[in-house]
Chain A
Amino acid sequence: MSTYTLRAKHRRSTLRTLAFLSPWLIGFSVFFAYPLLSTVYFSFMHYDGFKPPAWSGTKNWTYVFEHYPFFWPALRNTLWLVLVMVTLRVAFGLGVGLLITKIKTATGVFRTLFYLPYLAPPVAATMAFAFLLNPGTGPVNSLLEKTGLPAPGWFNDPAWSKPALTLLALWGIGDLMVIFMAALLDVPKEQYEAAELDGATPWQRFRYVTLPNISPIVMFAVVTGVIQTMQYYTQPLIAGKVASGVIQGAGTQFEPGYPDKSTLTLPQLVYNLGFQRFDYGSACVVALVLFALSMAFTALLMRRKGGLIQAGDR
């Protein structure tokens, strides 16, 4: 009899768990598992949305890797962004975080001002930077020329478009600043005092006390930065569109990557292939590459001790 009630209890608790999880179980199946499998399926199909899908073997794959002119430039840009943008963002975020912990007057005001740009909607922020950095009448180049410094073409120059995007990304450093600030305030005070007694210079204190204490957060910032770079879509797209001067409206076509493919990223390729060239099969190939890269770095994030952490940034 007792085994019977125990089993009933167990069944009840399973049912309860399923009931609480049910929204997500449906969401997971319909909006994650099914479309993912379907993406794999379509990557082997020729499908333009009108004629029924037809088996095409690995044709889409060879097309994307060997003939699609945007794939390798997009991958190279992603690598550039990972190496330069992510590194600079982490360094700058740490720097601003350090600065804010040292500021003792009007800290709240400074913190709010530093944080605010992070909140600017991406489209609006990119639009603002396209204006600020526009080579003709933009305030930044006006100031640069007044001071006799070279005034680059920013979003209109293939060599400067990614640095301009990096500048935009550094402007919105608020998320990393808050995370680093919290980590820095958590470093035990005694360790600093001990270092000071030992006569450590400020640099030595940073190197041997601060850095070891916050290194997990640095790691976290790097990995989430890489994952965000995989998803980098709105800013490069809008920057390219605005700088190219393409008149927008419903149904207008814009070849992404202006100027000269320098702002192409992988997510833009999915849009370009699927919704501009109506080659759903090849779009799914790029989607799977994107999936593999994102999941590899996510696994890295989860393997960390105490892992299962994620940035506040969307």
Chain B
Amino acid sequence: MTQLLDRPLESKAAPSPAQRTAHRRAFLEWIAIHSLGVAAALFFTLPFLFVFLTSLMSDSQALSRDLIPHTWEWDNYRRVFDTPGFLTWWRNTLFYAVLGTALTVVSSIPVAYALAKFRFRGRNLALMLVISMMMLPPQVIIIPMYLFWAKQLDLSGTLWPLIIPMAFGDAFSIFLLRQFLTTIPDEYLDAARVDGCGDLRTLLKVVLPMAKPGIAAVALFQFFYAWNDYFGPQIYASESPGAWTLSYGLESFKGAHHTDWNLTMAATVLVMAPVILVFFFAQKAFVEGVTLTGVKG
């Protein structure tokens, strides 16, 4: 495009007709592609915009078909925070997401390392089992799991049935980390061994610093998973509102504020915002993670 603009139409040597059609075609193509881009951008952003605008409407206006608020009711957000429970859901979600992420990362790293770098019988089988676990819908094993946590350990009504398993490796995180660790050349590990490092020291001092982008991606995915999880809290926490998370509470919020779309949308914005903020701070690691899992087999 800059090339097109830099070149005045009446250049000294008049362009040949063929050149001119080529230019015009390139210019038209630029217009077409960028119009499509703008149209797509509208499709992806307008929902956010409408949600945000509605969240600022007055109660009565939210029932109308207006798109733009007459008065900007920032107070709606305070009303959401004042809703009984909202801060508790917020705290529970953070607790679940942060603790769960930490446990997942710590427990998955050694497993991923062994699957990536150790040679042992049954390694491929183990990897296949990891993938099967990763693909397993959580609903498949929920009945025995629920009976186990609720009837045998009496932990229903808390988020522990969701957090404790994360201390025993998460299949998706193991797989993603393993994919990343296989890209680290063996020479580094050999060098560490020659220097007299044991396996654990090699992992901590040599591998971990090199695996930071992979670990960041895993941590992000796991954080988002916990933040977004609806099924888990629904199963274990539905009877005790004190243990609800944002994703679960948001739905009951809609129930309690039946027709107040403005408040529901303000709550929706408040559930979306942290995830999007985290993304902006860690965009690179995130996109890298998505590509890593998908493309680099």
How far, in Å, is A43 (CB) from chain B's closest CB? Answer: 9
Q: Is B190 an interface residue (CB 8 A)?
A: no
A116's contact among B115, B139, B230, B276, by CB below 8 Å, is which? B276
How many of chain B's residues have a CB under 8 angstroms from any CB in A? 105
Q: Check A80 for interface membership: any CB of B closer than 8 A.
A: no
Say whether B210 faces chain A, with CB atoms less than 8 Å apart: no
Q: Which residues on B sit within 8 Å (CB–CB) of A85?
A: none
Question: Complex Cα distance A275/B146, Å?
Answer: 10
Whether the Cβ atoms of B297 and A309 lie closer than 8 Å is yes
With both beta carbons as reference points, the residue of chain A lying nearest to B271 in the complex is identified as A124
In the complex with contacts A31-B168, A137-B65, A171-B47, A39-B230 CB distance below 8 A: no
Q: Are B145's CB and A121's CB within 8 A?
A: no
Known: A113-B41, A122-B230, A314-B172. A36 touches B140 (CB 8 A): yes
Does chain A have a CB within 8 A of B76? no
Q: Mark B141-181, 1 if CB is under 8 A from A, else 0.
A: 11111111001000000000000010111001011100000
Partner of A275 from the list B34, B172, B235, B279 (CB cut-off 8 Å) is B235
A residues contacting the other copy or chain, number (CB 8 A): 104
Asked if B135 contacts A227 (CB within 8 A), the reply is yes
B211 nearest CB across to chain A (Å): 15
Residue among B144, B224, B265, B297 making CB contact with A128, cutoff 8 Å = B265
Interface flags, A224-261, vs B, CB<8A=1, else 0: 00010011011001100110011111111000000000
Minimal Cβ-Cβ distance residue in B for A31: B165
> How many whole Å from B23's CB to the nearest CB in chain A?
16
Task: Please pick, from B108, B120, B258, the residue contacting A247 in the complex, using a CB distance under 8 A.
Answer: B258
Instruction: Say whether chain B's binding surface is mostly helix, strand, loop, or mixed.
Output: helix
Output the residue of B48, B111, B143, B228 with the most chain A CB within 10 A: B143
Q: Which of B17-75 contact A (CB under 8 A)?
A: 30, 33-34, 36-37, 40-41, 43-45, 47-48, 50-51, 54, 62-65, 67
CA distance A178 to B291 in the complex (A): 7
Measured in the bound complex, the distance between the Cα atoms of B50 and A265 in whole Å is 29
Q: Can you list, as one digit per residue, whether each of A92-122 has a CB less than 8 Å from chain B (1) or not (0)?
A: 0000100110111100001011111101111
Contact B227 A311 (CB under 8 A): no
| Closest chain A CB from B90 CB (angstroms) | 13
- The answer on a CB contact under 8 Å between A117 and B235 is no
**Are A217 and B111 neighbours in the complex by a CB distance under 8 Å?**
no
A179 lies within 8 A of B143 (CB): no
Q: Which of B118, B241, B247 contacts A121 (CB 8 A)?
A: B247
B252, B289, B293: the one contacting A248 at CB < 8 Å is B252
B140 and A14: CB pair below 8 A?
no
CB distance from B220 to the nearest CB of A (A): 10
| Contact across chains for B250 and A124 when beta carbons are under 8 A apart | yes
**Contact A14 B271, CB 8 Å, known A103-B33, A117-B47:** no
Question: Once the chains bind, are B37 and A39 in contact (CB under 8 Å)?
Answer: no
**CB <8 Å contact, B40 and A114:** yes
What are the residues of chain B within 8 A of A100 when measuring CB–CB?
A: 37
**CA of A113 to CA of B33, assembled, Å:** 16
User: Taking the complex as formed, is A20 at the interface, i.e. its CB lies under 8 A from any CB of chain B?
Assistant: yes
Q: Check if A287 sits within 8 Å of B40, measured CB to CB.
A: no
Within 8 A of B (CB), among A268-314: 270-271, 274-275, 280, 283-284, 287-288, 290-291, 294-295, 297-298, 301-302, 306-312, 314
The answer to whether B144 touches A171, judged by C-beta atoms less than 8 angstroms apart, is: no
A241, chain B: closest CB distance, angstroms: 7
CA distance A283 to B144 in the complex (A): 11
**Cβ–Cβ contact B290 & A175, under 8 A:** yes
Contact with A along B106-141 (1 / 0, CB 8 A): 011011011100101000001111111111111111
Partner of B143, one of A117, A246, A283: A283
Contacts of B65 in A (CB 8 A): 137, 139, 142
Residues of B close to A312: CB separation below 8 A:
176, 221, 289-294
Is A70 part of the contact surface with B, judged by Cβ < 8 Å? Answer: no
B14 at the interface (CB under 8 A from A): no
Q: Which of A121, A178, A245 contacts B228 (CB 8 A)?
A: A121
Known: A123-B271, A314-B221. 8 other contacts (CB 8 A): A20-B114, A30-B168, A99-B36, A114-B40, A124-B247, A217-B294, A234-B230, A307-B297
Listed in ascending order, the chain A residues whose CB lies under 8 Å from chain B are: 13-14, 16-17, 19-21, 23-24, 26-28, 30-32, 34-36, 38-39, 42, 49, 96, 99-100, 102-105, 110, 112-117, 119-125, 127-129, 131-132, 137, 139, 142, 171, 175, 178-179, 182-183, 186, 217, 220, 227, 230-231, 233-234, 237-238, 241-242, 245-252, 266-267, 270-271, 274-275, 280, 283-284, 287-288, 290-291, 294-295, 297-298, 301-302, 306-312, 314
